[in-house]
A and B are shown apart, each in its own frame.
Chain A
Amino acid sequence: MTTAILQADRLPALLDAILKQARPVAPARDGDLLHLRPVASAAEIASRLDYINPRNSVKEFFFPRSEPVLAFERRADGVALAEPATDFPKTVLFGCRPCDAASLLIMDPLYNWDYKDAFWNRRRDATTVVAISCTRADEACFCTALGSAPNATTGSDLLLTPLDDARYLAEVLTPKGEAIAALAPDAFSPGTADKQAPCKAAFDLLPARLDLDRISAWLSANFENDRWAPWSFKCWGCGCCTFLCPTCHCFDIADEGTYRRGARRKNWDGCQFSLFTLHASGHNPRPDQAARWRNRVQHKYTNYVSKFGHRSCVGCGRCIRHCPVNMNILAQLQQIAAL
């Protein structure tokens, strides 16, 4: 890893250089919505980069909400199948937060443990992650509770930490990050700086680290527990939390089209829906919201750990911030840790 100082007034020049050779995905403001989306020019990028977190996570740029995985067509001599191209455009993901960058490393093993998912892996190969550290946080943020930090480097190719209005500390972490820095060499000058002080306001608001092992142990031992019902009573079972979550990864397979031709698509699905576990027999092993909420908590904080060695959560806070009924998974974890 090398460090450098990036002059803030050279950032537009760097973005223009990126635009010439890759598809940039960056935070843009559409009405009140600040979200990550492809941008056609640096002018489309949000003018202030001190947002808490874009509404959507980086997930959809690697695992789109709906994606064809197979096309089929009935012909005189049988059924012709065609696989979609996986030569994805070179992409630079600019301005996501360190929590989202870290989510990619949590998802990688899932898409590679038994079957190597070309859709995920080739998009990962084609994408460079330029994250920006958080100088602010809100009450929903909880990366520190999971042992991370608002200026953590995990998952980023290049991490920018705003030092003041004029300068960023640039941590060049991988060869992909080096390639970005090389696009505008005169924007970077050698040097380093303390990156804790600029993030102090965020650190001050973020919660203490949780006893994650204790939580995992309780969850493993308490599949049956009367507390799940009152804990989940107010959840009304939409997919807001799972769809905004950078590490929720479940999908459904749907065949669409006509008798003659169509496509098999991979669509986001979520464990908070009743249909998610409905069997063909009519039996539903997760018949109510208590069972579905339990699944969400257990999957993230114990099941995923036993399979992949990491919690399936980065503490981005979207599931708390945007839950229509203000469910609070951090409070849930703190409650379990105190049992």
Chain B
Amino acid sequence: MSTPTEDLQARARALLASGEADLVIGYGQGTNPQKTTPVFISKADDIGQLVLNPFCHNNLANWLTRKDLRARHKRIALVAREPDIRAVVVLIQEEQVKPDAVRVIGVRIDRLGDPQSLCQVLPQTTLDDLQTHLRENFQPRDLTPEQLAALEELEAKPPAERWAFWRNHLDRCIRCHACRQACPMCYCDQCIAVLNQPQWLDSSAHPLGNTAWNITRAFHLAGRCINCGECERSCPVDIPLMLLNRFLARQVKAHFGFLAGYDAKEYQPFATYTCDDRQDFIL
């Protein structure tokens, strides 16, 4: 039986050979067995660099909006885990990526970081089929019981305790912006955090500046976050950013019945206006 890595390499080889893709973005071996690192493969000779294992952490959809890459490559094949396929769907909805400019090699990794985790290349090859797979197979296991429990535990706390919780965590923020750079949904040419004429958000890593930055970042992801967890994993000071993101995702689900990245044909709640929208919340 072939290994997940062999399956992945075979798929990548076929895409390059047929000309369907001129670049494959995937994972290669990192500095230790528990790390991988993004690799960019344009020649069949380099396909051996590709690996698929439970340590494939990065959301590679992040590179789909990189201008230097888009300038050189027109047909990109992307190794995408299930949450990353959701990211591709959102990028298509937001017209950042043209559906025919990307080939998705879907992969499934059930428990990142667990050497025993299931790891496989998904059989579906079209984005339509992958979205059907996401809706039917992935959505029920998108949020793990542990993630849900952590969220509900925080939600159950009184506001003062929740505020203390976030003050304590946000105080550590050093404003390195790894959370933003890690996020495939943070593709703005000019992030509000770097606009300095005027300075919308204090750039200082003090409680006011850190709160302003982190809340703004989370708000901009409401109805857009696809739960890949890369921001939290990339944070060098261990701020539990996904608690904020998951909280907002639950609110959007509760109020609009919407989950991001499952259907490119849907309209996003915060990017849509209809004449029968309720107006009663406007003061």
A binds B: yes
Taking beta carbons and an 8 Å cutoff, which residues of A are in contact with B?
31-33, 35, 55-56, 65-66, 138-140, 229, 233-234, 236-240, 242-244, 252, 254, 256, 265, 267-268, 270, 273-275, 288-289, 320, 322, 324-328, 331
Q: Within the complex, what minimum Cβ distance (angstroms) separates A17 from chain B?
A: 29
Contact A236 B68 (CB under 8 A): no
Which A residues are in CB contact (< 8 Å) with B149?
none
Given A55-B236, A267-B204, A288-B68, check contact A243 B176 (CB 8 Å).
yes
Which B residues are in CB contact (< 8 Å) with A31?
238
Number of chain B interface residues as a range: 35 or more
Contact A289 B204 (CB under 8 A): no
State A124–B194 Cα separation when bound (angstroms): 32
* A229, A273, A328: the one within 8 Å of B194 (CB): A273
Contact B62 A243 (CB under 8 A): no
Which A residues are in CB contact (< 8 Å) with B237?
33, 35, 55-56
Q: Within the complex, what minimum Cβ distance (angstroms) separates A323 from chain B?
A: 9
Which A residues are in CB contact (< 8 Å) with B181?
236-238, 324
| B28-36, B108-116, B121-129 - interface stretch | B28-36
State A288–B181 Cα separation when bound (angstroms): 14
* A65, A237, A320: the one within 8 Å of B205 (CB): A65
Which B residues are in CB contact (< 8 Å) with A56?
237
Taking beta carbons and an 8 Å cutoff, which residues of B are in contact with A?
30-32, 35-40, 58, 62, 68-69, 174-178, 180-182, 194, 196, 199, 202-206, 209, 230, 233-234, 236-238
Which B residues are in CB contact (< 8 Å) with A234?
37-40
Q: Within the complex, what minimum Cβ distance (angstroms) separates B240 from chain A?
A: 9
State A186–B28 Cα separation when bound (angstroms): 55
Given A256-B204, A268-B205, check contact A236 B182 (CB 8 Å).
yes
- Chain A, residue nearest B180 (CB): A238
Contact A66 B36 (CB under 8 A): no
* A139, A273, A289, A324: the one within 8 Å of B182 (CB): A324
Which A residues are in CB contact (< 8 Å) with B32?
138-139
* A32, A65, A138, A320: the one within 8 Å of B174 (CB): A65
Besides A140-B31, A239-B174, A239-B177, 18 other A-B contacts (C-beta < 8 A): A66-B209, A233-B68, A234-B38, A237-B181, A238-B178, A243-B175, A243-B176, A243-B236, A252-B203, A256-B199, A267-B175, A268-B174, A268-B175, A273-B177, A273-B194, A275-B194, A288-B68, A326-B37
